[in-house]
Amino acid sequence: MAIKLDMGKAWNDAVALLSANKDVVLIVAAVFFFLPNAIATLAMPQATAELEAMAAANAEPDLQAMLDMMLAFYAEIWWILVLLAVFQAIGVLGLLALLTDTSRPTVGEALAFGAKALIPYIGAQLLGSFLIALVVGVLIALGSLIAPAVGVLLGLVGFVIAIYLYVKFSLVSPVIAIERKLNPFTVLRRSWDLTKGNSLRLFLFYLLLVVVLFVVTALASMLWAIFGIMGEQAGLFASAIGGALVTMASVAIFLAVLAAVHRQLSGGSSEAIRETFD
């Protein structure tokens, strides 16, 4: 019989994980999430500036010109974004290992595992994304062949299915980092099995968490915007540092939630979590 997710318990366990590991979480999250995001914001502001200038120069913005400019911009920096994604993927796996491994690994050992599990992690993520895109693409294509309205309707159905599949595959990173499973197909199947009977609960839990983090981010952005009064550079610096801090905290919280959800659905307990750090 499938274990029913207790959202309150999962949140309390996530808080306990972060509290018990606050020092190493701060170090890893700062290196892998704060610094890259802050540097990226400070080093690549030109696209935003050019978009704002283009919008100010035209009463009716040329959407095609803006799109072309953005495509050209990302065509130049795509490799930086790929390296950043790979770097942060190692941080995700390493941080999950630090949060949950009962053998109490050092930061170096946890990150070494993150590097080792990087290829299986990327493989599982790409495979899951491909399956989601395939389902949505087939539905839209079939609907468009019948009639545009049917294509739109099936597109909405595809969107719902995509969310469902995202929830089903949401425990990919904990399965790799905690259970040490490295076969992408096995990882996806394990995530699917763990979430069985809890898809709606997980969706509501994730949705609530995303809404709260979105509100916090919006409020923080308003605070950083005040520094814009001191000048463009001051505003950019405040936005970069503040945004990176919010991103770092959000990632750490979300990973702790995933670890707690995995612990609960795999048959663990709050007591087991506490014992890990006694």
In 10 A of CB 140, how many CB atoms? 20
Q: Give the E-state strand segments of the chain in sequence order.
A: none
- Whether the model pTM is above 0.85: no
pLDDT confidence of residue 62: 60
Distance (Å, whole) CA 137 – CA 130: 10
Q: CB burial class (10 A; 0-12, 13-18, 19+) of residue 131?
A: middle
Q: What is the pLDDT of residues 214-244, one digit of tens each?
A: 998 888 888 777 776 776 677 778 888 888 8
Kindly report, residue by residue over 116-133, the tens digit of the pLDDT.
999 999 999 999 999 999
CA angle 15, 274, 183 (to 5 degrees): 80
Alpha carbon distance 104, 100 (integer Å): 8
For the record, the structure tokens of 221 come out as 């952005």
pLDDT in tens, the chain (278 residues): 568 899 999 999 999 999 988 888 999 999 999 998 888 777 765 555 555 555 555 545 566 666 777 777 777 777 888 888 899 999 999 999 988 877 778 888 889 999 999 999 999 999 999 999 999 889 888 888 888 888 888 889 999 999 999 999 999 999 999 999 999 999 999 999 999 999 999 999 999 999 999 998 888 888 777 776 776 677 778 888 888 899 999 999 999 999 999 999 988 644 444 444 33
